[in-house]
Structure 1
Amino acid sequence: MIDRVVTSGTFSLDGGTWDVDNNVWLVGDARSVIVIDAAHSAEKIAERVGGRTVAAIVCTHAHNDHINAAAVLSELTGAPILLHPADQVLWEMEYGDDVRYTPLEDGQKLASGGVELQVIHTPGHAPGAVCLYAPELGAVFTGDTLFEGGPGATGRSFSSRETLVESIRTRLLVLPHETVVHTGHGNSTTIGAESPSF
């Protein structure tokens, strides 16, 4: 089961601030879920979770609009926060040393509600950016690595377009073409639909 919650707030980096709508993904079953990218409103996310157990709160990267509800959601649910440690500097911009996370590793497998998510490290949009592949669901959760229409934004601190494109080509476009791409913002797409852009 895949459920989407859209939350609204701001994204700030490099002296700029933008209004954004974020996709928060809940993956699991009627008893247990993994929350992907706890953005803006822990209360709204917790309401959608309902009585289910939250096995983990996974951050696809540590830009503030993808992590700013993680600490409160963790307090509300008791779930650990998981993040790739290459995004430590971005994490500290939001939380300093006050909030700790459990490090994610490339290839690591996370399970909840009968669904297994495989961690794919895809640096470029952020150094610690990861995607989460659920083969039995035919889906991948890409955060801001890959969108409908192409790669995520670069040109900000800690990002590299060359690295991002290489990550997408070598780590995501090798997935089956029918794999549904669930993004951090906007509409879902498929690997096949995005492949011609590369």
Structure 2
Amino acid sequence: MKWNRVPLGPLQTNCYWIEKDQSVLLFDPGEEGARLVKHFEQQGLTVAAILLTHAHFDHIGAVDIVRERFNCPVYLHEKEKNWLTDASLNGSERFGLGKIVCKDGPSNILTKEQVMELEGITLNVLHTPGHSPGSVSFYCKELGIVIAGDTLFQQGIGRTDLYGGSMDVLMKSIHTKLLTLPEDTVVLSGHGNETTIGWEMEENPYLNGF
């Protein structure tokens, strides 16, 4: 089992996948769907599920292409269940990139924090709102990673000026959900390089002294 990352689209949003036994769990396919499909087909891989940390436009642009090719479910938190099909909610209208929407909403709604097992891969689903109301982070203990979306970055935190954002809520999510993970946990963020929980506890200027 291994994880992979590729930045996609004009905002270079990180798309991740966990690969095990030719099956893939795909996180935040933000753009370049044809490129993703071609890669998986060339490698003989099948996308078993798409999991979204949240539904901002730069994280969902390739959902339809991948979903249709592999006929796979899409997981998203209930607080953003309407965002895939609504450009005013997912933010695409605001940035002048045209309406970026999906044909359908998520097939699988995340309603609570839980432990999920998909394709033999165990994920702890952590509700980490603040950047957006339905933001979630996916913690894989076996790989020592947490796919945190736009909640926590290397020496940074997610913006909170978009619809449904809240700085107070974001800081609470980071401190009570992410910083309680083992310090050597690798944080896979929505943009930029990976970091670790321990590094951010010591070096992140937004977290020190909170």
TM-score for the superposition, normalised by structure 2: 0.83
Aligned identity (percent) is 38
Count the aligned residue pairs: 188
Q: Residues of 2 paired with 1:96 and 1:42: CA distance?
A: 14
Give 1 or 2: higher strand fraction: 1
- Per-residue CA deviations over 1:123-168 (Å, capped at 9, x if unaligned) read 0000000000000101100010110012111112210111001000
Q: Who is 1:48 aligned against?
A: 39
Structure 1 residue 100 displacement after superposition: 2.5
Aligned runs of 1:16-95 on 2, under 5 Å? 20-50=11-41, 51-94=44-87
Structure 1 residue 114 displacement after superposition: 3.6
Aligned runs of 1:95-134 on 2, under 5 Å? 98-101=103-106, 102-134=108-140
Q: Residues of 2 paired with 1:97 and 1:172: CA distance?
A: 30
Q: Verify the 8 A CA contact 1:27 1:33 in the aligned structure 2.
A: yes
Q: Residues of 2 paired with 1:100 and 1:155: CA distance?
A: 24
Q: Who is 1:184 aligned against?
A: 190
Q: Verify the 8 A CA contact 1:62 1:87 in the aligned structure 2.
A: yes
SS of the residue 1:128 aligns to: coil
Q: Verify the 8 A CA contact 1:7 1:41 in the aligned structure 2.
A: yes
Q: Who is 1:170 aligned against?
A: 176
SS of the residue 1:123 aligns to: coil
Q: Verify the 8 A CA contact 1:172 1:191 in the aligned structure 2.
A: yes
Q: Residues of 2 paired with 1:112 and 1:98: CA distance?
A: 24
RMSD value over aligned CA atoms? 1.8
Q: Residues of 2 paired with 1:4 and 1:178: CA distance?
A: 19
Q: Who is 2:145 aligned against?
A: 139
Structure 1 residue 2 displacement after superposition: 0.3
Letter in 1 for 2:183: H
5+ long unaligned stretches in structure 2: 88-99
Q: Residues of 1 paired with 2:119 and 2:194: CA distance?
A: 22
Q: Verify the 8 A CA contact 2:81 2:109 in the aligned structure 1.
A: no
Structure 1 residue 31 displacement after superposition: 1.1
